[in-house]
Structure 1
Amino acid sequence: MPEKTPAAASPDPSLSPRRQALAVLCMTDARAKAAAARALYRQAPALPDEALRPNEAIDAEDARRIPGRPERPMLVPPQDVERRRSLHTPTGRAAMIHALCHIEFNAINLALDAAWRFSGMPPAYYRDWLRVADEEAFHFTLLADHLGTLGAAYGDFPAHNSLWEMTDKTAGDVLARMALVPRTLEARGLDASPPVRARLAGAGDHAAAAIIDIILRDEVGHVAIGNHWYRWLCAQRGLEPVATYAQLAEQYRAPKLRGPFNLDARRAAGFDEDELAWLEASAG
């Protein structure tokens, strides 16, 4: 039977919205975190701009708790994550859904971290990332529920930590974060989703394929948010976006992107033709 989703915990209203995002980020129960992230976003449209402006420093105790995660899954190097199980068995499909579930759990954390960590951005920036956290939490819950129908639960398979590692590396610069997390690592999901969906549908798991459709639809919007704020920051700093991206990718040792690329989805997410030409020319 699928696990029950906890009742949505209301973030402490005595905290500022960004402090509430930090509190949810530090939560260790995956289901409760997803519910709290969704509850946090529900209040965002009514927040006055002034509520999103405070420049609040993080203390050492909070830093040690970021990101909150459950004891399981066990985190291993990417090369040690078992791959390519047959999707024509419940265990094989469960392993695939678990990997996707772990990506979405990490995506909740990175959206909350983007909302919490970087001060001095326009109020719309914080509302955008609270919205992303809400939608990633929805994706996580859909996948975790489906995992339950396959006789498994989040935490049952090993997973890797690459998405959060880049989030941590870019903690000191919002420009690097926007360049290398939403519009690099998350944008890889735009390329990967169609073949994953095809494999799941081919194995007869049409419920999982429908979830991938929802995720791809929303991820186009998430990458578009990253693109918008990356370009906004480049304009603020007087930087040329394509050359700056190449420099940041080298500086932070971003993974080399490989095709084929979902160019239609990337265009819908705001990549322009110069960026796509650079991407295809530099692909390994």
Structure 2
Amino acid sequence: MELRQRALQVLCLADPEQKAAAALDLYTQAATLSIAENTPAPPDGMHDLPGRPARPELRRHTDVARRSPATPEGRAILIHAIAHIEFNAINLALDAVWRFGGMPREYYLDWMLVAAEEAQHFRLLRDHLRSQGHDYGDFPAHQGLWTMCEKTSHDILARMALVPRTLEARGLDATPQIQAKLRQVGTPDALAAVAILDTILRDEVGHVAIGNHWYRWLCERAGHDPETHYGTLVAQYEAPRLKPPFNETARRKAGFTDNELRWLQQL
């Protein structure tokens, strides 16, 4: 079976643990699989992508509970929200593999690596939730990441610009702030969460770097200047407005230029 077809099958899985396990398994096989020339079609009866469990209940962003780490329940809500982001990130990476044809083999292998690492992150966070008497699905969540995925489903250049290097890059900025609040709390569960976020932040720098690489590759192929075209795409797709503070160290590691960082500061 071809890699892109298999990635679509994993994307269709609804059970979170099955999806995470299948993404990890597919990554171990990816180097030996051929890349489909034609984009595979979703299976009969599968009208809505991605496959997702009945819980968590999905709400508008403004209707999701606050994530204060001051109480055990508040920390559980916070970790659940991050776990939901990581679950969506598995789907985002798999979608990047199956949906877009005509890319170099390295593109597909890069995004399978991302899917596998996001699956590992989801498992770490879910295990942590379970250690605190909760589980994934116990709290409402929102679909902000997947909404932008749908908006850019027809345009790989917009996808690379507005998902990994915009929405996912926000995690580079937010994670150190979340860790600081958890360190202030100082309980064993809070400090265990800080350690998990260390792993996630390290890997996410690499994921954003992959998005930056392929965004610039696509801009070069299309004859666009990456820095000026990014602003055009942000406006065209009404991407969320990014606000400081920015984690400039992490963003530089992920491939953002000084000009891009100055542009962000001026928003």
TM-score of the alignment, normalized to the shorter chain, above 0.5? yes
Preserved contact between residue 56 and residue 119 of structure 1 (Cα < 8 Å) = yes
Paired with 1:157 and 1:238, the residues of 2 have a C-alpha distance of: 45
Q: Give ranges in structure 1 of 5+ residues lacking alignment.
A: 1-14
Q: 2:243 maps to what in 1?
A: 258
- 1:70 aligns with one of 53, 65, 69: 53
Paired with 1:202 and 1:41, the residues of 2 have a C-alpha distance of: 37
Paired with 2:76 and 2:247, the residues of 1 have a C-alpha distance of: 25
Paired with 2:244 and 2:6, the residues of 1 have a C-alpha distance of: 39
Preserved contact between residue 91 and residue 150 of structure 1 (Cα < 8 Å) = no
State percent identity of aligned pairs: 58
Shift of 1:89: 2.4
2:80 equivalent to 1:98: yes
Paired with 1:195 and 1:43, the residues of 2 have a C-alpha distance of: 37
Preserved contact between residue 4 and residue 40 of structure 2 (Cα < 8 Å) = no
Alignment: residue pair count: 264
Preserved contact between residue 66 and residue 74 of structure 2 (Cα < 8 Å) = no
2:159 equivalent to 1:197: no
Paired letter, 2:96? A
Paired letter, 2:105? P
Preserved contact between residue 74 and residue 158 of structure 1 (Cα < 8 Å) = yes
Paired letter, 1:71? A
Paired with 1:121 and 1:231, the residues of 2 have a C-alpha distance of: 13
Paired letter, 2:28? R
Paired letter, 1:82? A
Q: 1:45 maps to what in 2?
A: 31
Paired with 2:5 and 2:167, the residues of 1 have a C-alpha distance of: 26
Paired with 2:15 and 2:197, the residues of 1 have a C-alpha distance of: 24
Shift of 1:44: 1.7
2:204 equivalent to 1:219: yes
Q: 1:18 maps to what in 2?
A: 4
Preserved contact between residue 53 and residue 123 of structure 1 (Cα < 8 Å) = no
Matches within 5 A, 1:108-257: 108-203=90-185, 204=187, 205-257=190-242
Preserved contact between residue 76 and residue 159 of structure 1 (Cα < 8 Å) = yes
Runs of 4+ in structure 1 over 4 Å off = none
Paired letter, 2:29? Q
Shift of 1:201: 2.2
Q: 1:79 maps to what in 2?
A: 62
**SS of alignment partner, residue 31 of structure 2:** helix
Paired letter, 2:37? P
Shift of 1:60: 7.4
Shift of 1:88: 3.5
Paired letter, 1:192? A
Q: 2:22 maps to what in 1?
A: 36
Paired with 1:178 and 1:267, the residues of 2 have a C-alpha distance of: 17
Paired letter, 2:55? R
Paired with 2:44 and 2:179, the residues of 1 have a C-alpha distance of: 41
Shift of 1:62: 6.7
**SS of alignment partner, residue 46 of structure 1:** coil
Shift of 1:64: 1.1
TM-score (norm 1): 0.90
Paired with 2:30 and 2:39, the residues of 1 have a C-alpha distance of: 18
CA RMSD in angstroms, aligned pairs only: 1.2
